Chains A and B, each alone.
Chain A
Amino acid sequence: MMKKFLLLVIGVFLIIFCLNGGALAKDNIRIGFSMALTGPFAPAAKGQMDAYLLWEELVNKNGGILVKEFGRRLPVKLVYYDDKSEAETAVKVYEKLITDDKVDLLFAPNSTTIHFAVFPIAEKYKAPIVGNTAASVKLRDLKSKYFWFVTATMADRQMRALVDLLISLKVKTVAVVNIQDIFPRENLEFLIPYLKGGGFEIVLQKDYPRGIRDMVTVLSEAKGKNPDAFIALSTPPDTFLTAAQIQEVGFNPKFFFQLIGAAAVAFGPRLGAATEGISTFGHWSPKAPWPGAKAFLDNYVAKFKVIPDYLNSTLAYVSCQIIEQAVERAGTLNWEKLSEVIAKEEFPTINGPIRFTGSENLQTPAMVLQWQKGEIEIIWPSEVATAKPLYPKPPWPKK
């Protein structure tokens, strides 16, 4: 009897020791996320994924993140699965990460659609996620308590910045084309009233379908209207196509704006000298005076041999920085406490200081970027500009 009792005590003791030992032996911080490694979003997701990998490497080179609760620095380890660009797969991945993998922290997935899809999971488990590659005015309606968005490219603010720039450039006539896709259409909804309110003459407004393989007819028509500014609310395949074929039809607007893709890694090599003067959206430049901005560019180029995507890579890295600082300040991996810190405090990042208002980053202004001498410069608003707007845009190079 006594022997049995002793065995039982030892057994219980052992079990407690093991469990406790498991907790004591916490040797890393596991951060889970789902990523569009394949599928239609994969090209855009690459810059985001690489920013996560770079952040992981740099943090670990530093010994990890200091967590007061454990009294030391813990290295980070990314745990991720391919969601094939499918929202429903991403939702399953996050469920698995939280309930099965039991990760310590979560990073954001790729694209607005998947951010929307994952939102209920964050709410359900009260899991803090700093969103990055999502922009839609509808994100505000979520009134999330555990989901924040670092982007300053919400359509209303982005188009306001663009139209303000056009006003300052004294542009008179504008032609607008857009692809039939969610984000460009949302921008269009704000752009048109802003333009009308600014007294601009809209000489052409056209939309075109996804998967278009030839822009010549659209561009010829725009050329015929001879507008001062040509605004193409485009996404990557047609952004490239438009930039190539606008030269073919010899259309030389004084201002040329393209939406998504004109800051993508492949854009510069593909267009060469023709990039000069092309404007796009985003809110980052390595030349801006934000601490770590230049270092981010250098580290990224050293690791991946290409420049980062000025939008996706930066946003992703910024979201990592916020999580990292929140953990250090809260001194714990407790989600409730982390959420409080993220919601209230200000975080210095490579994109300047960020403090959330509700779930949105209102501190970073929406900006307009422009290719100048092979680099992307911030040209608007003037308080944060790294270069003056190049206006009128020079004619296309002769070949």
Chain B
Amino acid sequence: MDLGSILQIVFTGLIMGSIYALVAVGLNLIYGTMRLLNIAHGEIIMIGAYVAYWLFTAYGVSPFFSLILSSFVTIVIGLIICKIIFLPMIRSGKSEESIQSNALLLFFAISIILTNVVILIWTADIRGYSYLTGVVQILKVPVMLNRLNAFLVALVICVIAYFFLQKTMLGKAIRALIQERTAAKLVGINSDRLYLVSFMMAFGIAGLTGALLSMIYELSPFMGFPYTITAFVVIILGGLGNVLGSLIAGFIFGFVETVGISVTSPGLQSIISYGVFIGVILYRPKGIFGKGL
């Protein structure tokens, strides 16, 4: 294999990895803080993608600007859903198991509703727009601008998320809540407010991810579910509730997938990706990074 091909694989791995990291981080934030599995995560990404698509095709709004607008829309959705459904549920004082299983059903319902709302508004047609389709050469490897852009934006967001969680007071409080909920409450952390913050953050990142993906892939109301699955795999690899772990696991997953199929065959993609996944579950049931980081 020549150097050009190796670089190409490395770039592709980085691009896919950054997207997977971004997709997973939102899911893990909600799971980490609230212990709720948001299986409507992919649908929130889908909403973000549609907002960007619609703004671009109808009003010529630059998809870059839509990164903000899409996440604004999904933050509002997150705010509403959290305030009227999940906060009252958590406050109701029911057992954790019953809240978790109810939340799973509720998120499932939300995903169905969102998909069908999008079908009503935009129909089930496949849609897409052409943006930043120029090709640049990096170290003599051609890369399409929209993918390069997705990589850079995803990287920036991941870095911001990292520093937010590590350095800011709010981020530290969220991490405290993830690690030990009862103790966090005891030392005066306002858990309700943090639930809301992490919910909105997760939804905002999902919306932004959607806008980013809409520049590369085509859209359909059913595009979300595969991302939910990928996000699950990544957060289990990185450790449930371990936000930083899932960022790293996203890159690992992207690399495994890309390198795996280029040294073997694309037909083996699922076997390789899920083989690694099963291996990790068998030998490190708490994920590569467990609850640490």
Contact = CB atoms under 8 A, between A and B. Distances in A.
Nearest to A265: B125
Interface string B161-190: 000000000000000000000000000000
B269 interface: yes
Nearest to A309: B125
Interface of A: 37-40, 42-43, 45-46, 180, 206-209, 211-214, 216-218, 220, 236-237, 240-241, 244-245, 247-250, 261, 264-266, 269-272, 274, 306, 399
Given A43-B125, A249-B142, A270-B129, 8 more contacts: A37-B119, A38-B119, A46-B125, A206-B265, A213-B217, A217-B266, A261-B126, A399-B135
B54 to A, nearest CB: 14
Contact of A206 (B12, B133, B147, B266): B266
Contacts of B222: 39-40, 42-43
Contacts of B144: 244-245, 247-248
B135 A266 contact: no
**Which 8 residue pairs across A and B have the least CB separation, nearest first?**
A42-B124, A208-B266, A270-B128, A399-B134, A248-B144, A217-B262, A240-B218, A266-B126
B16 A214 contact: yes
Contacts of A45: 124
Contacts of A249: 8, 142
A247 B124 CA distance: 27
Nearest to B259: A217
Contacts of A206: 265-267
B126 A43 contact: yes
Interface string B254-286: 000110011001110110000000000000000
A42 B221 contact: yes
A248 B269 contact: no
Interface in B220-254: 220-222, 226
Nearest to B225: A40
B124 A38 contact: yes
A271 B130 contact: yes
B59 to A, nearest CB: 16
Contacts of B130: 269-272
User: Max chain A CB contacts within 10 Å: which of B124, B147, B220?
Assistant: B124
A290 B19 CA distance: 48
Given A43-B220, A217-B258, A236 B267 contact: no
Given A37-B119, A38-B116, A240-B217, A43 B124 contact: yes
B209 interface: no
B101 interface: no
A241 B266 CA distance: 15
B55 interface: no
B127 interface: yes
A45 B125 CA distance: 9
B35 to A, nearest CB: 29
7 contacts: A42-B119, A42-B220, A43-B126, A43-B220, A217-B12, A217-B266, A237-B218
Contacts of B135: 247-248, 250, 399
Contact of A207 (B116, B127, B267): B267
Contact of A214 (B12, B124, B128): B12
Given A38-B116, A214-B16, A217-B8, A250 B142 contact: yes
Nearest to B213: A213
Interface in B192-229: 216-218, 220-222, 226
A216 B12 contact: yes
B102 interface: no
Contact of A216 (B8, B218, B221, B265): B8
Contact of A208 (B128, B129, B142, B269): B269
A395 to B, nearest CB: 12
A164 to B, nearest CB: 29
Contact of A270 (B116, B218, B258): B218
User: Max chain B CB contacts within 10 Å: which of A214, A261, A271, A306?
Assistant: A214
A241 B217 contact: yes
A207 B147 CA distance: 24
B5 A37 contact: no
B265 A37 contact: no
B172 to A, nearest CB: 34
B115 interface: yes
User: Max chain B CB contacts within 10 Å: which of A180, A218, A399?
Assistant: A399
A381 B123 CA distance: 35
Contact of A269 (B116, B128, B216): B128
A249 B86 CA distance: 46
